[in-house]
Structure 1
Amino acid sequence: MASLVIIKTGDAFPEVVDQHGDFEQLFTRRLNEALPSGVTLDVWDARLTSQPPEDIVAAIITGSHSMVSEQLPWSEALKPWLQQALADDLPLLGVCYGHQLMAAAFGGVSDYHPAGRESGTRSVRLTQAGRQDPLFGQLPECFVAHLTHAQAVMQLPPGTSILAHNCHDAHQALRYGPRQWSVQFHPEFSPPVMRAYIERQRAALRDQGEDPDQLLQDVAETPDATRLLTRFIAML
């Protein structure tokens, strides 16, 4: 049977896992009801094995608390697989770490953002390319999304289209090929998950001049960002 695979690249904080589930559960919860007939949802933990499931029809690459610039062996081993997936036109959607890893695999550079960490529910704006994109084009020109990242795509791979940006990050969403996208934000997050991340990062956010209490107050539902997941699998 054909498989939509969630490529697991890390674990959420323990309190998030206990209360809301790990990254793969957050995605599964959003995707299960929209899966096409004949497609199963599988998880490939790339940290534990380099052998992917068989009969993959699409892949979603999760976030991680690792850093792409660390070039961990399991992460580096994913790069040739992603390169082949792009060459084969396998539908891909990278999220946060997955976004940064895809960009690095395809010839870009991902590293620490000079402005520091971006966390909370933030506004994201489509570019002209985003407004014309088959995955993003039905979204509002400006929408809110949940974000938590210290690294970002600092240099684009050749031939990449920028689909969305905001005041912190010029590369909030990218497209690399006909059916290969990535986003810096977390479409799988719910408001309680976002609040848990802000609470965990409270000291670090305060140290860089952010107001954690205001960030918590500003957390909101992100239906447009979340809709990208079901739109992605609807295009399979």
Structure 2
Amino acid sequence: MACVLIVKTGDAYPEVVDQYGDFETLFEKQLSTALPAHLHLQVWDAQRNPTAPALDGLAGILITGSHSMVSDAEPWSEALKPWLKAALANNTPMLGVCYGHQLMADAFGGVSDYHPAGRESGTHTVRLTQAGQQDPLFSQLPERFAAHLTHAQSVMQAPQGSTVLAHNSHDAHQALRYGPRQWSVQFHPEFTAHVMSAYLKRQQAALLDQGEEPDTLLANVIDCSEASSLLRRFLAFV
């Protein structure tokens, strides 16, 4: 049975973990309904276990979000970069999410850092580029779709040779493709509306500090089934 590896790069807020599960659990819940019989999910906590699994035994890789910052260059995070480069060279299917998105872009020659406009949190509209509309993973999405977002850092410069698949008014790089089966997204396809609301409640003070209205953001949280469908469709490429 082939393994799809979930690379855990951090922990969700304790109240989110208690009510809905940690980052890896959110991925597992979204994927479980579409997991073919020949695949199984395995979790590797990259923060706590520095030994990277051998790429030869992996059918695909999913990289979670984190409350860490890529620009802090923590040793565990930096150690992932050569492993990700080897996975790209090996044409191992990959999908990075939020921190995973920023880490992949940074590993492949881009730049991830704090966004000058501040934090983007809540349910927001994301738009496909022309390349995104033709991409094998993204082409089944509508040109505009809703997605859950919570991030202070962004991919500020995409790696040379990558393709921008989606963007919005806050972020020029909402989705990138690096190779035939290697993608990353800034938004959270694993989040439910309940998880997004829990994040906004925790971030109220920070959002107020940057001039946002948390109550409005909470009222605008909706289900994002189209964005979530990316996780399940990714399985077709492993």
Query: Shorter-chain TM-score: what band?
Result: over 0.9
Contact 2:52 2:83 in 1 (8 A): no
- Offset at residue 37 of structure 1 (A): 2.0
- Offset at residue 50 of structure 1 (A): 2.6
Distance 1:131 1:111 in 2: 27
Task: State the partner residue of 1:148.
Answer: 150
- Superposed CA RMSD in Å reads 0.8
Task: State the partner residue of 1:234.
Answer: 236
Task: State the partner residue of 2:73.
Answer: 71
Matched, 1:22 2:17: no
Q: What do the CA deviations read for 1:27-77 (whole angstroms, capped 9, x no partner)? A: 000111211222110000011223234511100000000000000000000
Distance 2:160 2:87 in 1: 17
Task: State the partner residue of 1:176.
Answer: 178
Query: What SS does structure 2 have at the residue aligned with 1:195?
Result: helix
Query: What SS does structure 2 have at the residue aligned with 1:52?
Result: coil
Question: Which deviates the most, 180-189 or 29-38?
Answer: 29-38
Task: Give the percent of matched residue pairs that are identical in Structure 1 and Structure 2.
Answer: 68
Contact 2:5 2:58 in 1 (8 A): yes
Q: What do the CA deviations read for 1:95-130 (whole angstroms, capped 9, x no partner)? A: 000000000000000000000000000000000000
Task: State the partner residue of 1:48.
Answer: 48
- Offset at residue 235 of structure 1 (A): 2.2
1:83 corresponds to which letter in structure 2?
Answer: K
Task: State the partner residue of 1:217.
Answer: 219
Distance 2:107 2:155 in 1: 11
- In structure 1, list runs of 5 or more residues that go unmatched: none
1:5 corresponds to which letter in structure 2?
Answer: L
1:139 corresponds to which letter in structure 2?
Answer: L
Q: What do the CA deviations read for 1:169-223 (whole angstroms, capped 9, x no partner)? A: 0000000000000000000000010000000000110111100000000000001
Distance 2:80 2:52 in 1: 10
- In structure 2, list runs of 5 or more residues that go unmatched: none
Query: What SS does structure 2 have at the residue aligned with 1:83?
Result: helix
Query: What SS does structure 2 have at the residue aligned with 1:124?
Result: strand
Query: What SS does structure 2 have at the residue aligned with 1:114?
Result: coil
Distance 1:203 1:209 in 2: 10
Task: State the partner residue of 2:12.
Answer: 12
2:12 corresponds to which letter in structure 1?
Answer: A
Matches within 5 A, 1:43-192: 43-53=43-53, 55-192=57-194
Q: What count of residue pairs does the alignment treat as equivalent? A: 236
2:44 corresponds to which letter in structure 1?
Answer: W
Task: State the partner residue of 2:33.
Answer: 33
Distance 1:177 1:189 in 2: 25
TM-score scaled by structure 2?
A: 0.98
Contact 1:34 1:234 in 2 (8 A): no
